[in-house]
Amino acid sequence: MSTYTNVVPVAWPRMRELLAGWAEVFAGRSSPAAFRERFCPGARLPSADLPLALAPPGYLDEIGWRPGAAWLPADALRRSPAHAALSASGLADMTTYLLLSAIKHFAAVAMDWRGDAAQDIIGAGERRAAIIDMKNRIHFLEAVFEATYHWPPDGWIHYSYTRLPGCDRMLAALLERLFLATRGLPGLRVLPRGNTWLAVNAHLIQGYLLPGEVGALARRLEALGAPAAAVTDGHFEPFVRQVGLVAGAGYGLVAMQDFS
């Protein structure tokens, strides 16, 4: 089994609009079907099987999501009994798929990688927009983290990541927010622990960065240089260049696992 990873630029005003609509669903003021029609019409989704009420009253308060919020610690979902019930029912898998599809259709940006932002196409889908489109884990992370493979009896096959001594702490934090399951969103499936990477098929949003954080990541990646090149599988240099272009255009980034 393998995972397929895409890191997608997103237009942040559209991402905010999408997240506001998503919160309306979990507040009970809109339906999954209405969300689908607004943000990903025509997409092949399981939303017809989703109940009108996805979560009990007070779910957003329980996880700490506020109107206008742009990010959420994944641990807030891990601590939530209401979210645990959503996951146990299987609904979190379907809501994750729905939100993934909405991001691809409504907020993802296909950039002209020569740097001409005027050629950007919003709502282009993850394959066209991705700055990383690769199979399995991202090896250049091992310039900053020690990766350990786990195959426990419960079947949760994954890698755990521990910061290397002396690493750039801010760079490590940015990479954790983008790749290593430390950020979540309402209704999303989350891995049991942070600083992990699933090693089997799944639809997941591993993390995301706001536009200002993308700029900080671009600056710190350039300084990483040789250590990453020593462990890379050919993706590091293009990633650094393209993150710089995304930062210059003022976009955010979303990392998703989307098996095929």
pLDDT tens per residue, the chain (260 residues)? 456 778 889 999 999 999 999 999 999 999 888 999 999 987 766 545 677 677 888 999 999 999 889 999 999 999 999 999 999 988 888 899 899 999 989 999 887 665 444 344 555 554 455 666 566 678 888 889 999 999 888 777 889 999 999 999 999 999 999 999 999 999 999 999 999 988 877 888 999 999 999 999 999 988 876 665 556 666 788 888 889 989 999 999 999 887 44
DSSP annotation of 108: B
Tally of domains in the chain: 1
pLDDT at residue number 65: 96
Backbone φ and ψ for 259, nearest 5 degrees, come out as -70, 155
How many helices (H) and strands (E) the chain has is answered by 11, 11
115-119's contacts with Cβ under 8 Å and 24+ in sequence apart are 115/245, 115/248, 117/248, 117/249
Backbone φ and ψ for 148, nearest 5 degrees, come out as -125, 130
* Cα gap 134→130, rounded to integer Å: 10
Domain that holds residue 192: 4-258
* Cα gap 183→193, rounded to integer Å: 11
Backbone φ and ψ for 24, nearest 5 degrees, come out as -60, -35
Residue type, 123: G
* Cα gap 239→113, rounded to integer Å: 11
Angle between helices 32-39 and 12-26 (to 10 degrees): 160
Question: Hey, what's the torsion of the CAs at 106, 26, 189, 183, to 10 degrees?
Answer: 70
* Cα gap 160→132, rounded to integer Å: 21
